[in-house]
A and B are shown apart, each in its own frame.
Chain A
């Protein structure tokens, strides 16, 4: 079973103070801590578990700058066998479609039975790289995957739906699955893993190596262009009800009834 995991090196923004940079189209990155995208963390773990069960290889692949090596090394330390970084200044400003093209151009020449990506990336949240990649490769896919059971060329996967529902679908290999958080419990990086990872090479490829042209990547090769990034203004919409408890409760009931809630 040869598995490819697409991982992204993203800033941890959940608890950081976020500022918009001078271009008005991106966030200020200085001072932010970068790490593997949370969803990809689960995808990598799932890939390593599948490998441990069925044998084979796990290749982690990322489109990103040199800094992204730390994310790839983390993948190697946790059980990936190979790592590839796709780097070129012309890849900058690529949208999900362009990223999927870059990934596809590399992956198509690699042996694989299964490709895992995160369901989304914590920084831009587009949820599209996985499905587009599957389309470009002409293979099947399933999104928001919470459970994977492999069996002779097909996989039974559980997909997470809204409202706590799950559906189980059967997907034919080769396929792309986009993994939801919580599918497993990612292991810690061990010191033994770090030692192994440091002895492995990270293969670096640029535009010239992957057979795409300048027009396929970056802003030119993208369908989406960021117009503006901003922090939504805070609006106060709370209404304070005054009066005796009886009056207040009558008003609450009135509001709820008017909105069709009771």
Chain B
């Protein structure tokens, strides 16, 4: 067992820390939390330094590190600011991962390098208005017509949809398949394709700089070459993909927890009531100790899941444990941080309420906590 980051990982942590502490300013964080705008300039800056392409191989202009190194970066971004952190860490979500596994060389060469460099933004459209946790049947269909596919349907809650250049869309390609998930496929659709329309969803609870949209697809034509991997394998690709990317969501949760904790800790040392800094009261100091314990436990689960993936031993149960636990810890820790700030914690200018609002998403997207528990219990039922 080895519980320490190596020198290279420490250098990575130091570099991203320095970048975020200078660039993720509190002013920008507050401004974009209000405006609900994607921090494009910041994203490109981070991308040019390699921070957004950690686990993309070097041959596709990425950095060639593993998921663990990526988690270190994502965690640090979300520690400094949860909203900007979520936005920057999700700018090229999922498409490189799915193409690396199942794409052909042409697709990889065309789409991955610009995403790695930060020149383009990606979006992954699985959820639909009627299908969120359960994506075993999609209402969005792709029908073959000559040598192209025609896609119709709508997708909901799609991260980056309003700014993305390239989308993957999960479609029902065989409506008669039983079970229905055996008839699903993933297609690549480029921005500007006639019939593709994204609308921004406003007034989310948190991660406001990470913009979300609805996607309408009406008679969108996708050439045969836009099919990712094999026909009717889309559902399986999706599940496998989430087992990987969810680990990065756990890292977001750990970072958000750590950021709120550090702020609360500093505040408790300086805020005086009853003639003493409030950290002198066990009612406060024990809260802080509990927060530290939970964060460390969440971090260990997350790093372990990432490490397993990097070893080529992806373990869906480890992933789900990390995401479910880190998400809950993020909610609890950010809540306690507000409590420690007292009335000031309730004000946006003191930042911790934003951490709390942002933390909630980690219990929802890329599979709700309940779905993680299903994965865990299904695995336990099989193996115990």
Binding site for B on A (CB under 8 A): 70, 73-74, 77, 188-195, 197-198
With both beta carbons as reference points, the residue of chain A lying nearest to B63 in the complex is identified as A191
With both beta carbons as reference points, the residue of chain A lying nearest to B11 in the complex is identified as A194
Q: Is B15 positioned at the interface, with any CB of A under 8 Å from its CB?
A: yes
In the bound assembly, the distance between CA atoms of A188 and B49 in angstroms comes to 8
Q: Is B4 positioned at the interface, with any CB of A under 8 Å from its CB?
A: no
Within 8 Å CB of A74, what residues of B? 11, 14
Q: A70-B14, A77-B15, A195-B63 are in contact. Are A190 and B50 (CB under 8 A)?
A: yes
- Are the C-beta atoms of B50 and A192 separated by less than 8 Å? yes
Report how many residues on chain B are interfacial, defined by Cβ distance under 8 Å.
18
Q: Is B18 positioned at the interface, with any CB of A under 8 Å from its CB?
A: yes
Grouping DSSP codes into helix (H, G, I), strand (E, B) and loop, the B interface class, with mixed when no group exceeds half, is helix
In the bound assembly, the distance between CA atoms of A121 and B138 in angstroms comes to 64
Q: Is B111 positioned at the interface, with any CB of A under 8 Å from its CB?
A: no
Grouping DSSP codes into helix (H, G, I), strand (E, B) and loop, the A interface class, with mixed when no group exceeds half, is helix
A-B contact pairs, 7 of them (CB 8 A): A74-B14, A77-B11, A188-B15, A188-B22, A191-B49, A194-B12, A198-B7
- Are the C-beta atoms of A189 and B15 separated by less than 8 Å? yes
User: 4 smallest A-B Cβ distances: which pairs?
Assistant: A191-B50, A189-B15, A190-B49, A191-B63
In the bound assembly, the distance between CA atoms of A193 and B48 in angstroms comes to 12
Nearest CB on B from A36, distance (A) = 11
In the bound assembly, the distance between CA atoms of A195 and B48 in angstroms comes to 15
With both beta carbons as reference points, the residue of chain A lying nearest to B53 in the complex is identified as A191
Q: Mark B22-58, 1 if CB is under 8 A from A, else 0.
A: 1000000000000000000000000011110010000
- Are the C-beta atoms of A188 and B18 separated by less than 8 Å? yes
In the bound assembly, the distance between CA atoms of A192 and B11 in angstroms comes to 12
- Across the A-B interface, how many residue pairs have beta carbons closer than 8 Å? 46
In the bound assembly, the distance between CA atoms of A197 and B7 in angstroms comes to 11
Q: Is B105 positioned at the interface, with any CB of A under 8 Å from its CB?
A: no
Within 8 Å CB of B59, what residues of A? none
Within 8 Å CB of B12, what residues of A? 191, 194
With both beta carbons as reference points, the residue of chain A lying nearest to B64 in the complex is identified as A195
In the bound assembly, the distance between CA atoms of A194 and B54 in angstroms comes to 12
- Are the C-beta atoms of A192 and B18 separated by less than 8 Å? no
In the bound assembly, the distance between CA atoms of A188 and B43 in angstroms comes to 15
In the bound assembly, the distance between CA atoms of A192 and B51 in angstroms comes to 9
Q: Is B267 positioned at the interface, with any CB of A under 8 Å from its CB?
A: no
In the bound assembly, the distance between CA atoms of A192 and B10 in angstroms comes to 15
A188-B18, A189-B11, A191-B15 provided; 19 other pairs, C-beta below 8 A? Answer: A70-B10, A73-B11, A74-B14, A188-B19, A188-B22, A189-B18, A189-B49, A190-B15, A190-B49, A191-B50, A191-B54, A192-B49, A194-B8, A194-B11, A194-B12, A197-B11, A198-B7, A198-B8, A198-B11
Q: Is B307 positioned at the interface, with any CB of A under 8 Å from its CB?
A: no
With both beta carbons as reference points, the residue of chain B lying nearest to A191 in the complex is identified as B50
In the bound assembly, the distance between CA atoms of A219 and B58 in angstroms comes to 50
Nearest CB on B from A25, distance (A) = 28
Nearest CB on B from A51, distance (A) = 20
Nearest CB on B from A14, distance (A) = 14
- Are the C-beta atoms of A191 and B8 separated by less than 8 Å? no
In the bound assembly, the distance between CA atoms of A188 and B42 in angstroms comes to 13
- Are the C-beta atoms of A189 and B14 separated by less than 8 Å? yes
In the bound assembly, the distance between CA atoms of A113 and B49 in angstroms comes to 31
Within 8 Å CB of A188, what residues of B? 15, 18-19, 22, 49
Within 8 Å CB of A197, what residues of B? 11
Within 8 Å CB of A191, what residues of B? 12, 15, 49-51, 54, 63, 65
Nearest CB on B from A19, distance (A) = 15
Nearest CB on A from B350, distance (A) = 19
Q: Which of B12, B49, B65 has the most chain A CB atoms closer than 10 A to its own CB? A: B49
Nearest CB on B from A210, distance (A) = 26
